[in-house]
Structure 1
Amino acid sequence: MSSYESSGQRKKIKSPFSGAVLVAKDGKVLFKKAYGHASKETKAPNTIETKFSIASVTKQFTAMLIMQMIEKGKLNLTDSISKHLPYFSKDLGDQITIHQLLSHTSGLPHYEGLEKIGIRASSFFSTQYTPKSFAKLIGNTKLIHTPGTSYHYSSLGYILLGAILEETSRQTYNELLQKSIVQPLGLKNTGFESNDFIANQVAQGYNFRELEGFDWLITKQGGKFNTAPFRDQSNKYSTGGMHSTVEDLFIWSEAIRNNTILSKELTAKMLTPNKDGYCYGWMRNWDDLIERNTNVRMYTHGGTLPGFNSSITLFDDGTTIIFLANVHPLKDKEIIHQIYLTTHGLEDKYRLDGYPDRGSLSNFESQGGIKALNTYFSKLSKLCGYKVLPSTNSITGIMYLYIKNEQQVKADSLKNVFFTDFNPRESDLNRAGYDFLQINQCEFALEFFHENVKKSPNSANAWDSLGEGYMICKKYHEAVESYKKAVEIAQNKNSQHLDVYKTNLSKAIKKLEE
């Protein structure tokens, strides 16, 4: 950890580490230490008692509060949103259950869903919401898949769980949190507090940006820290608004292991993997960790906010690794993996092998090609207990190799598998389309943009990207029609990008007239 704090560490974990770490085995703390500054402006150091924003680790506490309400008979996993939030969109609320909110299978979008209904990211972070007003806002978003059919991480779903908790208990989220978890466990530095509390009692968050060229050489840590923008507590709420310390989170982790504040039966239910290995507020067998050490099994969850990273991992062998950091970004899986190896005196030799090299087509095919790739992910899926697929970048990279080597049939075949089996996100399809435009593969690239508007017909950005694809491919009539659709959708949603879409449309019309 000291090496991660010092210069050169960016090559390992992206940013110089600043925060606190705790490692335990079988309930006994083996190591705890703090690094860096809670405030670089005042030079106040981080300590073990320093409070950090824990971001999405908050979801564990929200899930526990829901399970406690179930234990008391006040909620059921099969209850719909509509049953407990009468002000929420009934059409949407009737379709989604508490179980689906907990397991990220509700079909609700993540924060990108807000932008699609005209909520500008630039203003969202500073906007104050009540749980009721935030829930109503979420009720205006569009489902991205049928509830219960697929996993899609959605912080908005956990906002609704907080609203349900308040409606059912007639207490605020923090009052319920204090009464049901914080006080029973004797946590001294954990809670959900006001903006003033976060600004004055919690470590300041920083974003780290690497420098390049000569600046990289003359800067001790190879980059610069910038104070992270402040985000209003009301829109972090029950999905990411809590603060804590590593010591408090260790007490929390032991309560999970020992069923201290929830029955053994319901704790087991909370930790049962659902689609893609997500439990309720916990991830079972994170594939990035299993790839690095095939012998371990764990429950884990991380969190990120501007300027903050958090992580808590409970290994089946009794090892607990917790870190809280006031710097972003960090390679959390690398930190966890290296700490685990050091804790157990192990060498880094337990990685899953068999992933074919993708540096060139000859290397890829000599090492087994697609067959080897399928075998690798079949092994990984078996180890994790759920289906794991290659990353979008891996698949599009292999398509690139095929195209570069004039094997268009193989590229087309893999593209079709990608569309049908991978359920790519809007951003994945857009990125792939632009990547193939850069190598002058117009028709191939356009298929990704077409797939995007097919999957996201109400996305102005998807239609705008299709228009740009047509423009680059000199199909100006089609570009005009696509840009018109983008402008129409953007106008209906009061999009912050409307002027950009209008400008693009004007350029396309001018080209068409020429």
Structure 2
Amino acid sequence: MDSDSVRGVGRRRLLGWSGLAAVGGVAGASPAGAQPADADQAPTGQAGHASTDPIPPDTRPGGAYDRYVAKLAAESRFSGVVLLSHRGRTVLSRSYGMADEEKGIANHEGVAFSLSSAGKPFGAVAVLQLAQQGRVKLSDPVGTHLKGLAEEIAQRVTIHHLLSGTSGLDVPDEDVRRVFRSRDEVHAYYEQRARRARLVGVPGVPDTDHEEAEVTLSALIVEAVTGRTYWDYAEENIFARCGMTGSGFRTRPQWLTDEHIAHPYMELADGSVVDAVRDLDRSSPDPKVLGKNPGRAFIDAPGDGGFATAPDLVRFAQALGDGTVLDRPWADVLTAAKIPHGPASFGAYGIPVSIVGGQWMYQRAGGNPGVGANWDIYPDTGWVGVILSNRDGVPLQEMIGQEMQAVTGAPAGGGSGG
């Protein structure tokens, strides 16, 4: 661990988010479709005492959520992994479909999936680690750490504005058909785009929806302060600390050769399906991601994406609650409601948060052609839900709603934040 490490790494807080304290890590990966041991029993809570929290029937193997996902898979509407964890113990784990059809590799808990926007909160965590150390202040104008920006951006836009999505910045349209050949090429391209950002709104006012500049500039600040690439910093100071051994910022060559990375299966206009990472000439016809193909990226843009397994995302959730990656007050800064988006939904730092069924729910979703990802943290009751998919046509918002209903009993209204 180098000088960029957060002070006190290795200290585990005795109290986490109502039971998200470490309890020995998530249970080991189960075979596809297998029932985890003791799934019908209340998991052990903090300090080794038996938890008295009831396990909702809809979350159990054979329950409503399990049956719902199985039906989707049977209808070829889901390929991937779902996982429900309560206080660090797996309650439900299911895997369906193929990670790599050409090689005959099935999806399972040990397979890492592309996160797309579901990886953006790692960048917010990285910045808050530096704030915790006193190396940046959330009130710092971005020009404090980055040179060469337009003066109105350098002086008026703060780190808080970047993290809260209220910067007012926009960037030119992306060249979605470009095929990248190296990490350096990716970095140079997105850094140039961020530095060409325009101020189209009023900093502090949530009237724009242009995350790219905010995410990239946040990552560039991490790099300027630490002297390391964002990818390397996050892998050591977030993934490694959390024990996320199956996760990282993988490159296209790794995506093609590593048997533990799910390939994205993208649907074309004629209804046929192709392996996007093996067929870079094909593009998505979906208007939301028109012309895109995630395989064209050599590595995800700084501050964005990455690959993770479902158990690793549970480990990340636990690490947020027990002080592994951020001291508890700084973890609260990350998830505190800041910008109202609806009657009970708010923007935090890179994470939409909502009040669902009388409890908090922290969530982040992401999508790309052939890619769907979502993780939810229910800190008041110790639940974590993960959905990772590698095929177009997956009803991700509907799945989030069904998971939410199973965990909280609230009506299935879908999730927020993509």
What is the TM-score of this pair, normalised by structure 2? 0.70
Which residue identity is paired with 1:169?
T
Residue 123 of structure 1 deviates from its aligned partner by 3.0
Tell me what 2:254 maps to. 197
Tell me what 2:163 maps to. 102
Distance 1:160 1:329, change over 3 A: farther
Which residue identity is paired with 1:36?
G
Deviations 1:452-490 (A, max 9, x none): xxxxxxxxxxxxxxxxxxxxxxxxxxxxxxxxxxxxxxx
Distance 1:321 1:264, change over 3 A: same
d(CA) in 1 for partners of 2:156, 2:179: 27
Deviations 1:261-293 (A, max 9, x none): 21111111111122231111211118xxx5xxx
53, 66, 80: which is aligned to 2:127?
Answer: 66
Tell me what 2:22 maps to. none
Q: Is the partner of 1:61 in helix, strand or coil?
A: helix
184, 195, 206: which is aligned to 2:265?
Answer: 206
Distance 1:351 1:48, change over 3 A: closer
Residue 21 of structure 1 deviates from its aligned partner by 1.2
Any stretches of 5+ residues in structure 1 without a counterpart? 10-15, 212-222, 353-383, 389-514
| Contact 1:309–1:329 under 8 Å retained in 2 | no
Distance 1:121 1:183, change over 3 A: closer
130, 150, 157: which is aligned to 2:206?
Answer: 150
Which residue identity is paired with 1:122?
R
d(CA) in 2 for partners of 1:299, 1:21: 17
Residue 175 of structure 1 deviates from its aligned partner by 2.1
Tell me what 1:18 maps to. 79
d(CA) in 1 for partners of 2:165, 2:222: 17
Tell me what 2:303 maps to. 238
d(CA) in 2 for partners of 1:209, 1:271: 38
Distance 1:208 1:296, change over 3 A: farther
What is the TM-score of this pair, normalised by structure 1? 0.57
399, 406, 409: which is aligned to 1:335?
Answer: 399
Tell me what 1:311 maps to. 374
2:172 equivalent to 1:114: yes
| Contact 1:114–1:138 under 8 Å retained in 2 | no
2:281 equivalent to 1:226: no
d(CA) in 2 for partners of 1:210, 1:341: 34
Identical residues among aligned pairs (%): 22
Tell me what 1:489 maps to. none
Tell me what 1:253 maps to. 317
Q: Which has the higher helix share?
A: 1
2:244 equivalent to 1:183: no
Deviations 1:278-314 (A, max 9, x none): 111211118xxx5xxx555311010112211110011
d(CA) in 2 for partners of 1:233, 1:151: 32
Q: Is the partner of 2:91 in helix, strand or coil?
A: strand
| Contact 2:80–2:389 under 8 Å retained in 1 | yes
Deviations 1:13-55 (A, max 9, x none): xxx2111111012222101121100112232111110111111
Residue 126 of structure 1 deviates from its aligned partner by 7.5
343, 352, 355: which is aligned to 1:283?
Answer: 352
Q: Rg bigger for which structure? A: 1
| Contact 2:85–2:91 under 8 Å retained in 1 | yes
Which residue identity is paired with 1:57?
A
Q: Is the partner of 1:192 in helix, strand or coil?
A: coil
Deviates more, 1:173-182 or 1:92-101: 173-182
Residue 338 of structure 1 deviates from its aligned partner by 1.7
2:225 equivalent to 1:168: yes
| Contact 1:106–1:148 under 8 Å retained in 2 | yes
Distance 1:130 1:85, change over 3 A: farther
Tell me what 2:117 maps to. 56
Distance 1:205 1:299, change over 3 A: same
| Contact 1:88–1:136 under 8 Å retained in 2 | no
Distance 1:196 1:89, change over 3 A: farther
Q: Which has the higher strand share?
A: 2
Distance 1:195 1:124, change over 3 A: closer
d(CA) in 2 for partners of 1:198, 1:42: 13
Q: Is the partner of 2:234 in helix, strand or coil?
A: helix
Deviations 1:331-373 (A, max 9, x none): 32311222344457x5xx7478xxxxxxxxxxxxxxxxxxxxx
Tell me what 1:301 maps to. 364
d(CA) in 2 for partners of 1:104, 1:134: 18
Q: Is the partner of 1:237 in helix, strand or coil?
A: coil
d(CA) in 2 for partners of 1:268, 1:170: 27
Distance 1:149 1:125, change over 3 A: farther
Q: Is the partner of 1:100 in helix, strand or coil?
A: helix
Which residue identity is paired with 1:114?
P
Deviates more, 1:146-155 or 1:75-84: 146-155
